[in-house]
Structures are given as structure tokens and as C-alpha cells.
Amino acid sequence: MKKKIYIGLSLDIIHHGHINLINKAKKLGNVTVGLYTDKAVTSHKRIPLLDYDQRKVILQNIQGVNKIVSQNEWDYTKNILKYKPDIMVHGDDWKSDNVGKILRSNAIKALKKIGGRLIEIPHTKNISSGTLIDRIYSQGFPTIEKKNYLQRLIEAKDICRFIEAHSPLSAIISEKAEFISKSGQRTSFDGFWSSSLTDSTLKGKPDIEILDLNQRLTNINEIFDVTSKPLIMDIDTGGKKEHLDINIKNIERNGISAVIMEDKKGLKKNSLFGVEVKQEQENIKEFSKKISSAKKSTKNKLMIIARIESLILNKPISDALKRADHYLAAGADGIMIHSRKKSTKEIFGFSRKFRKKYPSVPLVAVPSSYNKVSEKQLIKEGFNIVIYANHMLRAAYPAMKKIALEILKNGRSFESDKTLLSIKEILDLIPGTK
């Protein structure tokens, strides 16, 4: 009887390295391919360009593949124990990768349990899906995919993690940031938040809708020039309803994935002031009209997320829930519920009731004040997107202030040098500087 051979593939971009692997596996027996689901890929890296079903069609038409099963985790253990292959085949390149080493040792342990063994094939030189995909993304993110990309991300991930980007450099830092846990779990940010607060602060202006749309879009386009992750834009109140149609079309054309529009009116003040300043919530009917009109202006690529300010203005949870009903009926694609409390009591009071009624409507949290909350808790309470709304600028400001004062105090910069990026590092930071 032919031996059972197992290989795991994400197969987002097919290349000769895959064919080489399949051909070698084929010689050993009947090949089962564990095709990574979108969720499995996304738990480790970017969401695949092609979704699971599209990738499966490709795989079904590749010679030498006898069976396709889905692999739901980046780790092989579960599938090895389930499908009990005689041999698992893998490229030997995973030995030189930190996460790969952990996967390899887990796979060897699982194979031992079921009496199987591992055969490693020399990695096909000068090719990897990762490099090809990076090359595609470095060309920019096709506008048409942006909306789909965020929606697919919401579907594939327990929670999507967005971080404020006020400048191209802050966005580059966040795009590249990656944490690998001891168990080999890779964590990174899924995209950017263009914040009205930090965009305004960066320009030394108050967060009162004083920057015009073109200033905001210029900043965003500069970020898009050098990064490749989706962006959610804070559009404050959305401005005058007479301007909304042109503005929304402009925003969509610029490749933004979603806007968040808040239900305030008059001179907008930052929500984190709460009722310490005069700020007024728009009435439900008027704001619902704004949502419908914004939605009509899109070509259904841009998501319109309605932001409810009831809790900010000390109104009850019931008011927020009522507004959610109306805003969704008006066509909103998701809801952001905001709170400035330290405790999660009110925000979870809202999310529990909301989730019962709307099991799958995207729900967004911005835990700037209730920052003890963990992503795990937010997932449990039904949130789909977490936005770290101002953290990159809040990190930069004290660092810059400290250096400015130190230079004044010491009459030179020598003492500050140890906390600074070295001259070599800054020269090497952006490719092409040399």
C-alpha cells in the first residue's frame, strides 16, 4: 500500500518551489495537502491575497495532489494527529527561522506519537511566497481590494488590531513591528488609524475639525506611499451634510478602507473631554440621514462605521443601543461605541446587549481610557476591531521633549546620544538613502 504523505501549504502565490515540493512528496506516496485556512494564515501573517476557496481550486488542479484537507492552525500538530501521515514533507528552510524552529519541533513530537516521520527537502533557492507577496504589497495596495481586505480581515480574525499613524514614519514603525511569543505566535498590527486628534496635534492645531479634508488626505497618501496595510479614517462628524457626497467619494477614491463618523454636531470637541466641554450629540434622525447619504456616495468599497457618543455624554446605555438600531437601519456597516471611563462596565454593558441582537455586525472599541482591558477580553465581549488611537504620537512627544531639554541643560548633545537612534541607524533606516 502506498504511504500517506502530508504537506502543509498556504499557496497564496504558487511558484516552482511548491511544485518541486509536491513532486518530491509524490514520489514517496499519496499526497495529502493541508491547505491553510484564511484564519490559519492570518493568525501568523497577512491575510492571503486569494481566499481559501480560490486557493483550493488552484490546488485541485495541480498534479500529484491526491487529497486536500484544511489546516486551521499555523501549527501542524492537530492535523498530524488527525490524519496520521506516515511521512510529513517540509522544506528545510524552517530550521533557520525562529517560528519555524518551534513548528518543526512540535511537528516532530506529533509525528513521534503516531509513528510517522519527517522528511525535509532542500528549499528551492531564491524563491519564497513571502518575498513575492512583499513585492506585490510594496507596489501599493490596489484600491479595489481595500474594502474587501478589511471585511475579510474582520471575518478571518478574532480581533483586528489598528494603530494610530500620524506620519509615514510612525506608520512604517507600526507596519514592521512584530512580536513573536515563546510558543511561536506572531503578532503584528493589521492596519492604521488616521486620528483627528493626532493629525491635528502634529500640526499644532486643536482637534476641532480645523484640518480640511485635503490636509488629512495628503497625510494619508504619504502614509500609503510607504506602507501597505489598510487604514481606517476618523472623519469626525463628517462635516456639513451638503459636502458629504463629494467628500466620501474623494475618501473612497483614495483607497481608505473605512471611515468612522461620530454623531456630534456643532463645534466638535475631542470625546475624551466628555462633558467637561460643551459638546452636543446630533439627533438620531439627522445623523441617520448623514449615514444613508454617505453610504449612497460609496461604490460599496468604503465601509461607513457609525460612532456613538452617548456614553461620552453621560447618556444611558439604552440611548446608545437605540442609536445603534437606527444607524444600522440607515445603512451603517459597523458601530464604534466610545467611552472615557476607566472601567469597562458601561462599554461591556453596551456590547453584551448589542451582540445579542446583532451577532455579526462589526463592532469597534477604542480603549484609550479603559486601557487595562486586554484584547482577549474585547474578543470575548464581541468586539471585532481594537484601535490604539493616539499611542504613537503620545510616545514621540515625551521623547522629543526630553531631548530638547537635555540639550539646553548640557549645552551639547553628547549626554543624550545614548537614548537616540545612532547616525548610522538613521542613515540606514530608509532604503535608498545611501
Measured from the CB atom, the residue of 169 and 272 that comes closer to ligand SPV is 272
Q: Is 325 a catalytic residue?
A: no
Q: How far is the CB of 193 from ligand SPV (least distance, A)?
A: 7
Binding range to Mg ion, per CB under 5 A, among 30-38, 196-204, 308-316, 352-360: 196-204
CB of 398 to Mg ion, least distance (A): 21
Task: Please choose, out of 109-117, 150-158, 214-222, 266-274, the segment that lies near ligand SPV by the rule CB under 6 A.
Answer: 266-274
C-alpha cell belonging to residue 21: 515540493
38, 86, 207, 263: the active-site residue: 207
384 binding ligand SPV? (CB under 6 A): no
Q: How far is CA 417 from the centre of its chain?
A: 34
Question: Does residue 209 touch ligand SPV according to CB under 6 A?
Answer: no
Q: Does 390 bind ligand SPV (CB under 6 A)?
A: yes
Instruction: Please give the helix or strand (H or E) that residue 60 lies within, else none.
Output: helix 52-60
By CB under 5 A, tell whether 234 contacts Mg ion. Answer: yes
Indicate the residue among 272 and 321 with the shorter CB distance to ligand SPV.
272
Residue 389 interacting with ligand SPV (CB under 6 A): yes
Among 237, 297, 310, 368, binds ligand SPV (CB under 6 A): 368
Q: How many residues in the chain? A: 434
**Is 195 near ligand SPV (CB under 6 A)?**
yes
Which region among 79-87, 228-236, 326-334, 365-373 touches Mg ion (by CB under 5 A)?
228-236
Yes or no: say if 119 and 88 are a contact pair by the CB < 8 Å rule: yes
- Ramachandran assignment for 329, one of left (phi > 0), alpha (psi -120 to 50 degrees), beta (any other): alpha
Report d(CA 320, CA 293) in Å as an integer. 21
308 binds ligand SPV (CB under 6 A): no
Helices (H) and strands (E) in the chain, counts: 17, 17
Q: Is there binding between residue 198 and Mg ion (CB under 5 A)?
A: no
Query: Is residue 196 near Mg ion by the rule CB under 5 A?
Result: yes
Residue nearest ligand SPV, CB atom distance: 195
Identify the residue among 270, 288, 297, 351 touching ligand SPV (CB under 6 A): 270
**Using the rule CB under 6 A, is 107 a contact of ligand SPV?**
no
**With binding defined as CB under 6 A, does residue 197 bind ligand SPV?**
yes
Closest separation in Å from C-beta 369 to Mg ion: 14
Residue 239, by phi and psi: left (phi above 0), alpha (psi -120 to 50) or beta?
Answer: left
Tell whether residue 194 is a contact of Mg ion (CB under 5 A): no
d(CA 64, CA 286): 61
Locus of grid cell 486643536: 206
Smallest separation (angstroms) from Mg ion to the CB of 86: 58
Least Å from the CB of residue 144 to ligand SPV:
27
The sign of the torsion formed by the CA atoms of 154, 157, 162, 168 equals negative
Smallest separation (angstroms) from Mg ion to the CB of 375: 22
Which residues would be at the binding site for Mg ion (CB under 5 A)?
Answer: 196-197, 234
Catalytic residues: 207
